[in-house]
Amino acid sequence: MIVDDHSDVLQALATQLSMSPEIEVVGQASEPEEALEAAARLRPDVLLIEPKRQDGRGLELIHLITNQHTVRDLVVLTSYASEWEAWATHNAGAAAYFLKDINTTDLVQRLLDVVTHRDC
């Protein structure tokens, strides 16, 4: 599942990830309430989320989703690095922190690594 408040980014990520036979994009959301409802309903293995939101609710949304216990792994996919944000999202329950400039092949492999590591 992908959560991002920029519809173009959301659509591009879904399209790129859907090209991989190992990945199934089960849902997308842009609004916080929509993301919470979809995560609870879909119970995705991995939720990709951009914490830098125009509404300023990214970290709050990460806390809410991880506390809801409906997602196995929450992965941050963000525009630019921030040591504080990486620390804060990890403390909020994020399993990994990646930058959006990652190529699709590497992103797919890292997502699979997150899931595989969790299964160990």
Structural domain containing residue 78? 2-119
Residue 103 φ/ψ, nearest 5 degrees: -75, 160
CATH number at residue 68: 3.40.50.2300
Q: Is the dihedral of CA 74, 117, 44, 99 positive or negative?
A: positive
Give how many domains the chain has, as a whole number: 1
Residue 48: beta bridge partners?
A: 2, 75
| Closest C-alpha among 78, 82, 83 to residue 53 | 78
* CA distance linking residue 46 with residue 110, whole number of Å: 11
Span 57-81, pLDDT tens digits: 999 999 999 998 889 999 999 998 9
Per-residue pLDDT, 120:
42
Mean pLDDT by 10 residues, the chain (120 residues): 94 94 96 95 96 92 92 94 94 94 94 79
